[in-house]
Every structure is written in structure tokens, then in C-alpha cells.
Structure 1
Amino acid sequence: MFPVSTPEGSSPTEVVTQAEIFNTYEYFRIHVRSGIEETHSFRELVYLDVSEDWAGEVTRYVDSNHKLKVDCRINYNSMTKTFWVRVKPEAIHGCQVDWMRRQFTAWSTSGVLSSSEDWFLNPEIGTGTTMRDFQAPYTSSIKEPDYMLRCRDTRQPQLVIEASWAESWSRLLDDKHLWLAGGNGEVGAVLLLQWLKVGSLGKRVCGLVELYGVDEHGNIVMKQRESIFPVPPSEETAPVIPISRHMLFGTRSPGQAPTLSLDISRLREAATKALGLMGLLPA
């Protein structure tokens, strides 16, 4: 219908289009709708240099159409002007949900997380949770996180998890700034999960996790990086990612241990299960 510009070396699952080829919003809307309807397996539709008005209008249009919305997640970064739609996410895009479910069970059964804390946190999966209340310069941004923990009395989440194949990694790096700089000071930590197919047949998958936060000077920094797959040969005990209890609860949980630990071993279990559903194996 319209010419598509896909940069050399990009993934066949990522289609990149310059918004300037559309003379009107209506042409842009038709292109987005067609892209979603004609996608029958995982693909990311990426539009560059999209205006805030167009991004807002097409998001409302897709949100109002259940047949379109059910299989996709919409994101717009108003700083980079990048609008992208993840259509038919794969099992690996959702393994963090299983990971956090396992983690919550472990916290609760061991007594690390009190019943009042468990109630106060509100775990949410990205689908159907559209976040818009960002501060300048991300005011018009739109995000559907892959997973988030949000206290019941806050607008923004305290912890966000985003996941992608390596081809989409640059957008997730941009979006960590959206969350941490545009999250009204409420977003305390962002975890990014990267997956990469390796080997001649592409049946093995490497993975890594990075933790980002804000330092005492207000700078966004990477605080921790761990290999998910392959498991480092020198690793004797699976690492953990400490999450500040104060970041999650503020002063609502006095007397408790200062951190909660996210276990990489449980993430590996969840990711292995997801990859198996896709006919893939950990590297």
C-alpha cells in the first residue's frame, strides 16, 4: 500500500517506516491498521518521526478496536518521536510475568514479604495497561510495559520490566530514560531483558538482564548487569538483583529488611520454559 523503509541489516521481524511518507493522518492510520491485521506471527512495526498528535490519535483508535488491540502493545516516545507496535508477542516476551509470579510466591511463603506489603503492591502486565502520565520532556509519551509493580496509591509504577530481542534493544534503552526521567520521580528501577538467537540454526538463545536507576546526582545509571544465558562457568551461586524496599514502599514497611532480592535462577527457569514453548533452547 505504501513504501516501507527498512534499514539494511534489520531483522525480518522489524519493519521500519518513515512517517513522512504519509500525506495525512488518515493514510498513517490505515497503514498501522493494515500492518496489525496482516501480521500473523511476531513482528514489530516501527514508525519514525511521528508527531505527538498522530501518535495519540492512532493509539486511541487501536485501543477502541478490540480486534486490533488484543494482539498488540503500543509505545510512543515523544523525545525520539518513535511510535512502535509489538504485534503478537512471543512467549519469551512474557517470561518476566512467570518469573515475578515465582518470586512473589517465594517472598510470601518465606515471610520476606508481609501480607500488607503483598496487598499494597499491584503487579500488572503490559497488555491493557497504557501509561500516559509522564513529565516533560516525555509528556506525550505512551507506554505499555511488559511488566510493572505499582503501589495502589501511585500513578506511575515503582518497578518496570521491559523485554525484547536484540534487534529492538536501542528502543528499550531510549525507553528506560522515558521511565526514569519522565516518571514523575515515582519510577525507581527499570529492568531490561535482552534475548539473542545464536548458532547456525538460531535455536539457542543468549540472554542478559540490566538494572537501571538514578544515582544521588540524578543521573540515570546502570547498577547491575547479569548473564541469564549462558550461565557463566565461574558462577557458583546464581546472582540476585537487590530491589530497595524503600523504593517500592517508601515508609510503609518500617522495620523490614532494606532490600528484596530478585533471583536470577527463577528468571532462568521461567525463560527456559518460555523458550521451550517456542522450540528453542538456552545457550
Structure 2
Amino acid sequence: MIQRVYHKELVFTDVEPSWGSHIINSLDVHGDVESACSRLHYNSVTKILWVRLMPTEIHACHQLWLRNENFNWMASGQLTLEELKALRILVGITIRTFKPPYDKSCKEPDLFIRPGEQRLPSVVVETGWSETYPRLQSDVDLWLLGGKPYVKVVMLLKWTLVEDSKVEGSIEVYSRDLTGIPARRQSEIVFPANQGGQNACLHLTRGELFGEVDTPGRDQNEVFNLSLDDLRAVAGNAMQHMRLSPA
């Protein structure tokens, strides 16, 4: 684990909750794991424990994208400066405060927005290569059921390496439906760009962004757009640093 130079993921299945939480605790305080820039994940329902080592540029590109979009919202007048400060964007922070049966779980998401003093995020973003994507999908329930009512939206970014060092990309948005069940509500192609809609956007409401935090006098159904063209720009730049290019 310590000597890895490139991105790698270690996956362990059928890990009982009593062991899973203990292993995560041990890894979380181990300096060598921390120095490898790891992400630790354990789902106490699926009993899958996995560790991502050495995240790459592509694993981090959405961080700049979300921060830029936040500033765009303020520049357009949708957010005040104080509201912007209240939307805390954090990366790789350990989260353990899930509801049963996910209460023994642990997640270190690639990015999340935590409004105000809320104990759990309102919006979560996770990213991965196509080979690891099923694990991200299986953890949607962990977030939207184990994190209920605080976690409102989960966004999953999938990157697929194809021939000639080209990369395809897509993004899916999940939330709870009217019955409270997690469901995919939007899916968009990032790359190839010509297969995605021009000027396409993802959509979040004020209520989803601010979660359980009250914003007096504001319309909770106000829509905030996330530009896919802006995501393509930052993702394309990240790929250049990896000697890759968009499909």
C-alpha cells in the first residue's frame, strides 16, 4: 500500500460490521495510509470495504468545477456572500454518522457540500473509473437512506479509458423519489462532448443545497444550474496532466 505510485483500489468483501469499523479506525490513524492520499470506505449493509490509494488529477477535477459554480451563483446574485460562506465545500473528510442499518459505515467522499452547522452533507459528489463505478452506485443507498433527511443529492462521475488514451465521461444525479426511495433523476454525457447536449446543465434547488438549514425569505424551489461545459473544461485540463485527452 505504501509504495504505490499510481492510482489503485483495494477491495475486501464480506467484511462484517464489527470488523469493518475496527479496520477503518485502524487505517484512519495509520500515518503510512494517510501519506498515500487514501480514501477509506466501508458499507455495513453491503459489507464491502475499499481503499482508494493515490487519487489522480481526474479524481479531483470536480472540486474546481463546484467551487467555480458556487462563485458563479454569487456573481449572478443567486447567492449572497454570507450564503456562499455557509455552503462549506469539503474533500475526503471522514463521515460516520449514518442511520441504521448503515450506522457502522464510513465514507470519505471525493467532495461534499455541508451547509451551516448541519452534521451531514446536503450534496455529495463521488468519482471513479468505470471499473470501480459499481461500488459508487451501491453506496448511493448508504448516502440517501443512511444520511436521511440531511443528504439530498448524490452525483456520480464515471470516467472510462478507451483506445488511444482517450477518456469518456458521464455523470448521474440521484435523489429520493416521492416514496423516499433513492432514484436516478438525471444522466448526462460529459465526453464525447458532441454526444452531450449543448449548454446542458445539472440542476439543484436551494432546498437541496441548504438542506435542513433555513434561508429566510428565499424560495426553496429556486434552481441552481451546474454547467457541463465548465466541467468539460476542468476535466480536459486534468487529463492533459495525465497525458490523456477527451474522447
TM beyond 0.5: yes
Structure 1 segment 36-55 matched on structure 2, within 5 A: 36-55=1-20
1:98 aligned to which of 44, 47, 64: 64
1:155 aligned to which of 107, 112, 119: 119
| Offset of residue 195 of structure 1 | 0.3
Map Cα deviations across residues 2-25 of structure 1 (whole Å, 9 max, x no partner): xxxxxxxxxxxxxxxxxxxxxxxx
Residues 273 and 234 (structure 1), Cα distance of their counterparts in 2 relative to 1, 3 Å cut:
closer
Paired residue total = 243
Say whether 1:78 aligns with 2:44: yes
Map Cα deviations across residues 160-213 of structure 1 (whole Å, 9 max, x no partner): 0000000011101111111001103110000000000112x3x00000000000
Amino acid at match of 1:197: L
The answer for unaligned runs of 5 or more in structure 1 is 1-35
Partner of 2:193: 231
Partner of 1:245: 206
TM-score normalized by the length of structure 1: 0.82
| Offset of residue 255 of structure 1 | 3.2
Residues 141 and 267 (structure 1), Cα distance of their counterparts in 2 relative to 1, 3 Å cut:
same
Amino acid at match of 1:254: G
Partner of 2:78: 112
Give, in whole Å, the separation in 2 of the partners of 1:119 and 1:194.
29
TM-score normalized by the length of structure 2: 0.94
| Offset of residue 86 of structure 1 | 0.1
- The alignment yields a C-alpha RMSD, in angstroms, of 1.5
Specify the SS of the correspondent of 1:279: coil
Say whether 1:58 aligns with 2:38: no
Residues 253 and 262 (structure 1), Cα distance of their counterparts in 2 relative to 1, 3 Å cut:
farther
Specify the SS of the correspondent of 2:107: coil
Determine if contact 1:193/1:209 at 8 Å carries over to the other structure. yes
Residues 270 and 76 (structure 1), Cα distance of their counterparts in 2 relative to 1, 3 Å cut:
same
| Offset of residue 253 of structure 1 | 4.7
Q: Which runs of 4+ in 1 moved over 4 A?
A: none
Higher-Rg member (1/2): 1
2:106 aligned to which of 123, 142, 149: 142
Determine if contact 2:24/2:42 at 8 Å carries over to the other structure. no
Determine if contact 1:117/1:253 at 8 Å carries over to the other structure. no
Tell me which of the two structures has the higher relative contact order, counting C-alpha pairs closer than 8 angstroms and 6 or more residues apart: 2
Partner of 2:143: 179
| Offset of residue 216 of structure 1 | 1.1
Partner of 1:215: 177
What is the identity percentage for the equivalent residue pairs of Structure 1 and Structure 2?
Answer: 34
Residues 61 and 226 (structure 1), Cα distance of their counterparts in 2 relative to 1, 3 Å cut:
same
Determine if contact 2:155/2:173 at 8 Å carries over to the other structure. yes
Determine if contact 2:203/2:223 at 8 Å carries over to the other structure. yes
1:89 aligned to which of 49, 55, 64: 55
